[in-house]
């Protein structure tokens, strides 16, 4: 059975979900900026998304065991984000590693990319809507 949405739409949907997760994580870092001993967290999903979207098979790997991580085209729903403590530590006297300027910059960048992804997916869905409603006239 043919899929209604193409790989781009699926990738945009996954990117939007992970941008929302990153927004929550950065917001949590900002909320804990004054908490003694709090370690800033980071989220990494771009590499996994790139491998899952691999249109030309250039980054595909052989998966010969059920315990291997899924990869390659069509595996967008299987990607997972890595959450880890920020390795670029700027330790304060109370052991907190949150850098407010860095967090605010990440928040703004994430917001811009999120809005761009939403606009792109809206355009793609608008084209589908046009094809269904107006295309046959």
pLDDT digits (tens, 9 = 90+) for 76-135: 666 677 788 877 777 778 889 999 999 999 999 999 999 999 999 999 989 888 888 876
CA distance 58 to 62: 12
pTM greater than the 0.85 cutoff: no
Q: What's 71's DSSP letter?
A: -
Instruction: State mean pLDDT over 25-30.
Output: 95
Give CA–CA dist 71/69, Å, rounded: 6
Q: Yes or no: say if 21 and 59 are a contact pair by the CB < 8 Å rule.
A: no
Of the candidates 42, 39, 58, 40, the residue with the CA atom closest to the CA atom of residue 50: 58
Calculate the average pLDDT of the chain. Answer: 80
């Amino acid at each position: 059975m043919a899929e209604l949405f193409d790989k781009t739409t699926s990738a945009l949907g996954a990117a939007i979900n992970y941008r929302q997760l990153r927004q929550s994580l950065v917001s949590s870092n900002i909320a804990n900026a004054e908490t003694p001993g709090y370690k800033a967290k980071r989220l990494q999903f771009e590499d996994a998304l790139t491998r899952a979207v691999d249109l030309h098979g250039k980054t595909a790997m052989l998966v010969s065991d059920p315990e291997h991580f899924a990869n390659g085209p069509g595996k967008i729903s299987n990607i997972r984000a890595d959450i880890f403590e920020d390795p670029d530590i700027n330790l304060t006297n109370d052991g907190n590693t949150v850098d407010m300027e860095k967090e605010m910059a990440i928040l703004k960048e994430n917001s811009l990319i999120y809005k761009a992804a939403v606009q792109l997916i809206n355009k793609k869905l608008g084209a589908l809507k046009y094809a269904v409603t107006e295309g046959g006239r």
